[in-house]
Amino acid sequence: MSTAAEEDRALAALRRVRDSREQDSRFGLQHALHAVRLRDEEAEVARSRRAATLSFGAGSLADFHAYRTFTAGMARAEEVATDRARSSRLVADEAERRWQHDRQEVRVVDLLLERRAQQRRAERARREAAELDDLATQSWLRRRSAEVTP
């Protein structure tokens, strides 16, 4: 195992955990958004059913009472469907917030891993420059000593 991999083993494990959490929260968000679509459709169907209800024209008192009970039930069904749609939107908003947070945590670990890699590259470049400087110095000393000694 390379030293970079050994040095970053803990961060790599942390990234895997956070990535798994991010995938879970993304799945939860997708599920919540699907529920929002279903609940919105249910609310729209309930609205259109209530809107399509004919007004009471004529009839007996029992007919009017049945009509009022029916329309009250339709209004209640629309209200329940609207409340369910609103609740599912709240759940989806929370699921999105959690997913964004989990995604940000993965990005933080990625940035830490990248920063460590940059630091290793900079250290490697510094060591190479020092090595090249030493080689140039040795070469200069050899030439100088060859010029001095006839």
In the chain, domain spans: 3-148
CATH topology for 3-148?
A: Helix Hairpins (1.10.287)
The string of pLDDT tens digits covering residues 59-93 is 888 888 888 898 899 999 999 999 999 999 999 99
pTM of the model: 0.69
Q: Which residues have C-beta within 8 Å of that of residue 40, sequence separation ≥ 6?
A: 85
First to last CA, the chain: 52
The string of pLDDT tens digits covering residues 39-48 is 999 999 999 9
What's the rounded Cα separation, in Å, for the pair 39 and 61?
36
Residue at 129: amino acid letter: A
